[in-house]
Amino acid sequence: MKDTDHPVDTEEPIEKPPIFNSWAGMYWLVLGNLAFLIILFYAITEIYE
Amino acid sequence: MSLLDWVVLFGTLGFIVAYGVWRTRGSKDIEDYLKGDNTMKWWTIGLSIMATQASAITFLSTPGQAYEDGMRFIQFYFGLPIAMVIISITVVPIFYRLNVYTAYEFLENRFDLKTRSLAALLFLVQRGLAAGITIYAPAIILSTMLGWSLNITILVIGLLVIIYTVSGGTKAVSITQKQQMAVMMGGMIIAGLVVVSYLPDYVEFGDAVAVAGKMGKMNVVDFSIDWNDRYNFWSGITGGLFLALSYFGTDQSQVARYLGGKSIAESRLGLLFNGLLKIPMQFLILFIGVMVFVFYQFNQPPVFFNEAAKSKVYATPYADNLRELEVKYEDIFEQKQEAVQGLVRALKADDDALVADAEREVEALAVAAKAVREEVKGVIKTATPEAETKDTDYVFISFIIKYLPSGLVGLLLAVIFSAAMSSSSSELYALASTSVVDIYKRSMQQRASEEHYLRASKLFTVGWGIVAILFAMFASLMDNLIEAVNIVGSIFYGTILGIFLVAFYFKSIRGNAVFWAAVIAELVVLYCHFYTDLAFLWFNVIGCLCVVVISFLLQGLVGRKKL
């Protein structure tokens, strides 16, 4: 057997994430957190520079 | 170092290694060595991903970077959370469905053997070089502390990492990284609190941040567009995104971390965990560097932070020149200290005119102090031509050893060694697994026993460890360690990412087109690195776009049948 011939698991069901009903909610949490941090850092730069 | 420091250092490291060996006892076949047993939960994956990326360089070099250049390095990480989301949506399910050992196996399924081998080789070259820098960083500490030769220290640390990795395999790497992350973050938070507590009584925390801001260190975000500026919002959000996509989506040292997950959901959550916490973690480390900078506005800093290099000059005819400059530096410091105290008083009085005057005075003295430091570097270079004159990587370790209380010095050194062990072991393991699965087992020795491949994996781990040690001996030629790692990565990552992007999203493009596009793209990136001043983060974008565009053109021009 070639190393690329591992058994293929075609349709593994993806569990729901915690807290949110869908993965989209988790993704928006991460992106929203990034947006919040950039705004916070911008405010810090403006206040202290 | 006191006895207590040695006990804390070796107690912490000994416990972590012993725990890893005990938990992974009995893993004796290639499946266990390369993949573990796919039982990892999301928090183990998340911490393992963070620990792999956070090398000793992160804890040594990042505070020094902030001391010298302020907070703006944080922008380098702005693309990372976006990359975590993209990888969770697209890459993770594909790797799971194909049940691969390494990321590059997917490329043979999608294209052909030569494209898989090219991507694996590009990874091996860049990660082999980066592993050398990862070993070099903690070697600085011991050589400075114990007065050992740097090369001997590199050799000792490199051999210890090799032994640890060969005995553990991937599961030991992941399991020990949880403890290592706890030590790292706990140690850094304590260090941050101690630095702030060492500020003079009349300087409150808010004053310290304000002083840092007035001295140009709170430059967290910069929206100006400058293609040659290494760190601004635009290079971070685009170049950083491409670098993170490539690092987490195609670098085996990271792919292996989340492929060991119990399910797709656990792997995704591990990646998103990293996307949430990475920027706050780096902010904390950079901010500690800024607080060390403020601390040295009220306490005399050494004129050159690498004491070992400085003491060599005392044994040469240039000793008097150095002493004269040290006296001059101390005089400037005393004036600057008074000016900074004036700045604090002006800030407390909330008087804009006074603040502006004090700021100008502080700035002028800071420029004078910097000029003296440059003169010192010139003297060191003249007296000992082999010495490196960049000392930013020594700023934090010099502060730890000189000012932290007994016990905490040992804990902070344990932080740095833990980081070195966690990232080096991941790197050596990834280099070995890629060498065995993508090159040796696929193209050189297709039919052999499991024991043979296990032995080969361990031999490759040792071999790559030796390569890393040799490269580490040349790492002192680099300007700044954390930049050196990222520059080496950026030279190769864009091309690798381009190959994977074509594989995922451009179904009509075939193996020959993407292979030659990748070769041309890598040459273009190497040209940009050696013959232009372009900031290195853009190499990721250029390499990736070149692969996508050129492979598209080749496929279109020559035709689907021929390619």
Task: Spell out the SS3 assignment of B526-542.
Answer: HHHHHHCCCCCHHHHHH
In a domain? residue B58: yes
Mutating which of A8, A41, A44 best tests the B interface, going by the most B Cβ atoms within 10 A? Answer: A41
Residue B558's pLDDT is what?
Answer: 74
Nearest chain A Cα distance for residue B270, angstroms: 11
Q: Does B221 touch chain A (CB under 8 A)?
A: yes
Residues B201 and B110 in one domain: yes
In a domain? residue B321: yes
Residues B314 and B216 in one domain: no
Dist CA B114 CA A16 (whole Å): 38
Residue B25's pLDDT is what?
Answer: 63
What CATH number is associated with residue B216? 1.20.1730.10
In a domain? residue B302: no
Position A6 pLDDT exceeds 70: no
Residue B67's pLDDT is what?
Answer: 92
Residue A31's pLDDT is what?
Answer: 96
Q: Does A10 touch chain B (CB under 8 A)?
A: yes
- pLDDT tens, per residue, chain B with 563 residues: 788 888 888 888 777 777 766 766 655 666 666 666 666 788 888 888 888 888 777 788 889 989 988 999 999 899 999 999 999 999 899 888 887 888 888 888 888 889 999 989 888 988 888 888 888 877 876 677 667 788 887 887 777 777 767 776 666 666 777 777 887 888 888 888 999 999 998 888 999 999 999 988 998 888 888 777 678 888 889 888 988 988 898 888 888 888 878 888 989 999 999 999 999 999 999 999 999 999 999 999 999 988 878 888 888 888 898 899 999 999 999 999 999 999 989 888 888 888 888 889 989 999 999 999 999 999 998 888 877 777 888 888 888 888 888 888 888 887 777 777 777 878 888 898 889 888 888 888 778 787 888 888 888 988 998 988 888 887 665 556 666 777 888 888 889 889 988 998 888 888 889 999 999 999 999 998 888 888 887 888 899 999 999 998 998 887 655 55
Contact B97 A23 (CB under 8 A): no
Of A6, A30, A37, the CB nearest to B272: A30
Of A4, A8, A44, the CB nearest to B97: A8
Residue type, B78: F
Residue B424 · residue B485 · CB < 8 Å:
no
Residue B197's pLDDT is what?
Answer: 92
Residues B227 and B250 in one domain: yes
What lies within 8 Å, CB to CB, of B185 at 6+ separation is B281
Q: Does B268 touch chain A (CB under 8 A)?
A: yes
Residues B322 and B450 in one domain: no
Q: Where in the sequence is the domain holding B382, given as residue range(s)?
A: 307-387
Contact B109 A4 (CB under 8 A): yes
What lies within 8 Å, CB to CB, of B220 at 6+ separation is A41, A42, A44, A45, B71, B72, B74, B75
Residue B522's pLDDT is what?
Answer: 92
Contact B222 A45 (CB under 8 A): yes
Say how many CB pairs under 8 Å bridge A and B: 103
Domain boundary among B387, B412, B442: B387
In a domain? residue B238: yes
Q: Does A1 touch chain B (CB under 8 A)?
A: no
Residues B256 and B316 in one domain: no
Residues B498 and B519 in one domain: yes
What total of structural domains would you count in chain B?
Answer: 2
Show residues of chain B in contact with A42, CB under 8 Å.
Answer: 220-221, 223
Residues B324 and B423 in one domain: no
Nearest chain B Cα distance for residue A26, angstroms: 8
Dist CA B200 CA B211 (whole Å): 13
Show residues of chain B in contact with A48, CB under 8 Å.
Answer: 209-210, 212-214, 218
Residue B40's pLDDT is what?
Answer: 75
Contact A3 B441 (CB under 8 A): yes
Global pTM value: 0.83
Q: Does A3 touch chain B (CB under 8 A)?
A: yes
Mutating which of A2, A3, A20 best tests the B interface, going by the most B Cβ atoms within 10 A? Answer: A3
Q: Does A16 touch chain B (CB under 8 A)?
A: yes
In a domain? residue B563: no
Of B81, B221, B283, the CB nearest to A30: B81
Q: Does B441 touch chain A (CB under 8 A)?
A: yes
Nearest chain A Cα distance for residue B378, angstroms: 32
Residues B154 and B239 in one domain: yes
Residue B169's pLDDT is what?
Answer: 61
What lies within 8 Å, CB to CB, of A21 at 6+ separation is none
Contact A15 B265 (CB under 8 A): yes
Residue type, B87: I
Residues B414 and B543 in one domain: yes
DSSP symbol at B261: B
Show residues of chain A in contact with B437, CB under 8 Å.
Answer: 3
Show residues of chain A in contact with B81, CB under 8 Å.
Answer: 30-31, 33-34
Sign of the C-alpha dihedral computed for residues A16, A17, A21 and A22 taken in this order: negative
Residue B479's pLDDT is what?
Answer: 57
Distance of CA B432 to the CA centre of its chain: 20
Query: How many CB atoms sit inside 10 A of residue B490's CB?
Result: 27
Helix (H) and strand (E) counts in chain A: 1, 0
In a domain? residue B276: yes
Residues B238 and B333 in one domain: no
Dist CA B117 CA B471 (whole Å): 23
Residue B171's pLDDT is what?
Answer: 66
Contact B78 A38 (CB under 8 A): yes
What are the angstrom distances between the C-alpha of B255 and each of B87, B170, B267, B330, B439?
10, 12, 10, 50, 18
Dist CA B521 CA B498 (whole Å): 9
Tallying the residues shown for chain A, one arrives at 49
Domain boundary among B361, B387, B413: B387
In a domain? residue B393: no
Tallying the residues shown for chain B, one arrives at 563
Contact B96 A9 (CB under 8 A): yes
In a domain? residue B210: yes
What lies within 8 Å, CB to CB, of B33 at 6+ separation is B27, B169, B170, B454, B457, B458
Domain boundary among B387, B413, B442: B387
Residue B273's pLDDT is what?
Answer: 93
Residue type, B430: A
Residues B415 and B371 in one domain: no
Residue B537 · residue B235 · CB < 8 Å:
yes
Residues B210 and B247 in one domain: yes
B 16-75 residues with CB < 8 A to A: 71, 74
> Closest residue of B to A11, CA-based?
B97
Dist CA B445 CA B10 (whole Å): 41
Of A3, A26, A45, the CB nearest to B272: A26
